[in-house]
Chain A
C-alpha cells in the first residue's frame, strides 16, 4: 500500500516536472528557473520503483523534456556569449544619442559594399542586332486587320467540345482523375514516392504532352503534388501528396517556369533526356 502511494506520488511529481518543462519549451518561462540537478535527483529517486511500461514511459518522457530544457539553457548561454550580444537598452540609447554624422562615420567603417559590374559584350550586341533585323516594323505590327464579315450563327455544345473550347468534364473532376493517375504511375514506375517530371508528362504526341504539363501545373499549384528540383544534376521530380495540402494553395508561392518545347519532347521520346 505504502509502495502504491509512493508510486502515485512519484508519477504526480514526474507529471509536474513534464508540465514545467513544456511551459519552458513554449518560451513562457525562463529556462534557468528550473534546477536541473534537483530534477535529476527526483527522477533518480523514483526510477528503481518503476516496473510497468507506462511508468517507464513517463520516466523517459521526463528525461526527454529535461534534455530540451537543457538545450534551451545552452542556447541562451551561446547567444549571450556570441560577439553580437549586448544590452539592447544600452545599444538603443547609444543609437538615439549618436549624431547622424557620427552614425555615418561608424557605419562606413563597418560597411564593405558589394562590387559588381555591368558591361555589354560583343556577343550580346550581335544578338541584339540580329533581333533588330528580324523585328517587324511597328507600322506592320500594329496594323489594323480588316475584320472579315462573318455570318452570325450558333454552335452546339458538342461542337465547342470538339474545338476544345469547352471541356466535356468539370475541370475539378479532370484534375482529381489526373491526380489519381499520378499516384498510380508513381506507385508503378516511381521510386521513393516520386517520378521524373518528363516521364510523367511525356505523351505520344507533343500536344498531349503540353496538355499533361498544363494539368500538372495545376496539381502543383493547388497542393496535390510538389516539385523536387536538383539544379546541380539538372533533374526534376514530381511527388504526389496523399491528401491535397490546402496551405500551399493559400500561401504565396514561387513560380518555376518549365520549358516544354517540341525539341525537348522529341529528345525525351528518343530517350536522350536524362
Chain B
C-alpha cells in the first residue's frame, strides 16, 4: 500500500514537472509564430505530451484560457488524431471565453481594424476558403477609407490571419484557425438582424467607471 502511494506521488511529481515545462514552452514565444510545434513538445516531454496538455488545459480553465491545437493547413482529423498528426500540429494558448470591446481596445485593436478583419475572414469563409484580394479590398472599401484598406490587409497577412498566394488569392491562415471559431462567427452573422446601435455593455462599463471613481 505504501509502495503504491509512493509510486503514485512520484508519478504526480513527474506530471507536475512536465506541466510546468509545457507552460514555459507554450506561453513564451521562441519562434516567429507563438506557440510550439508538436514534435518539440514530444522531444521535451515525451510521447505522452497530449495527456500533459490535457492536464494543463484543465488548469487553465479557471483562468479562462485553453490549449489550442492547430493542425497542419486545414487537415483537421475527423477521428481522434494520431501521435504523428499531433507532432505536425502547432499548440498555443488562447482565451477560452471572449473579449469585450473595451478589452479588445486594450490589447491594441482599433474598431475599424477589427471590423475589417471580421469582414475579410467572413467573406473568405463565404467563398469556400479563398477569395480574390481585389474583391476583399472592394468590400472593405465600402466602409473603410481607401488608403487604410490595403494597409490593413497587409497587416492581417503579417499577423498570420490571412495569407496570399502568387495569384493574389487570399486564404485563411494559421492564426485565424487558432483564434477564430469560424462556425460560431458564421452562425451569429446569419442570425444577426441589422441593428443601428452598438451591442456593447454600456451599463456595465458605466458601472465600472463609477466604481473606480468611488474607490479613488
| Residues of chain A having any CB pair with chain B under 8 Å | 83-84, 86, 88, 90-92, 94-119, 231-232
Contact = CB atoms under 8 A, between A and B. Distances in A.
A253 B89 CA distance: 21
Nearest to A78: B78
Given A84-B125, A104-B118, A111 B99 contact: yes
B99 A113 contact: yes
Q: Which of A112, A118, A119 is most buried by chain B, counting CB atoms within 10 A of its CB? A: A112
Nearest to B34: A116
A103 B195 CA distance: 10
Q: Which of A91, A94, A106, A107 is most buried by chain B, counting CB atoms within 10 A of its CB? A: A107
A91 B125 contact: yes
A48 B182 CA distance: 52
Contact of B104 (A88, A90, A102, A108): A108
A109 B188 contact: yes
B92 A103 contact: no
B143 interface: yes
Contact of A90 (B65, B107, B121, B190): B190
Contacts of A109: 98, 184, 188
Nearest to A102: B195
Nearest to A79: B128
B175 interface: yes
Contact of A113 (B42, B107, B115, B199): B107
Interface size class of B (residues with CB under 8 A): 35 or more
Interface in B43-65: 43, 65
Contacts, number: 148
Given A104-B118, A112-B179, A114-B94, A98 B194 contact: yes
B192 A106 contact: yes
Contacts of B216: none
Given A94-B189, A95-B139, A119-B28, A105 B125 contact: no
A92 B199 CA distance: 21
Contacts of B39: 231-232
Contacts of A83: 183
21 contacts: A91-B186, A95-B123, A96-B139, A100-B111, A101-B111, A102-B192, A104-B118, A108-B98, A108-B99, A109-B188, A113-B94, A113-B95, A113-B99, A113-B107, A114-B34, A114-B92, A115-B95, A116-B27, A117-B27, A118-B28, A231-B39
A101 B196 CA distance: 9
Given A101-B111, A112-B96, 18 more contacts: A83-B183, A91-B190, A95-B123, A98-B192, A101-B198, A103-B118, A105-B101, A106-B189, A110-B98, A110-B181, A110-B188, A112-B66, A112-B94, A113-B95, A114-B34, A114-B35, A114-B94, A232-B87
Nearest to B43: A232
Nearest to A94: B189
Contacts of B210: none
Contacts of A232: 39, 42-43, 87
Interface string B162-181: 00000000000001001111
B30 to A, nearest CB: 10
Contacts of B104: 104, 108
A104 B101 contact: yes
Interface string B118-135: 110111011110000000
A102 to B, nearest CB: 5
A110 B27 contact: no
B93 interface: yes
Going nearest first, the 4 A-B pairs with the smallest beta carbon separation are: A107-B118, A91-B126, A110-B185, A116-B34
B65 A102 contact: no
A105 B179 CA distance: 16
A154 B98 CA distance: 75
Contact of A115 (B27, B121, B122): B27
B73 interface: no
Contacts of A88: 126-128
Contacts of B179: 111-114
B186 A86 contact: yes
B1 interface: no
Q: Which of B97, B127, B192 is most buried by chain A, counting CB atoms within 10 A of its CB? A: B192
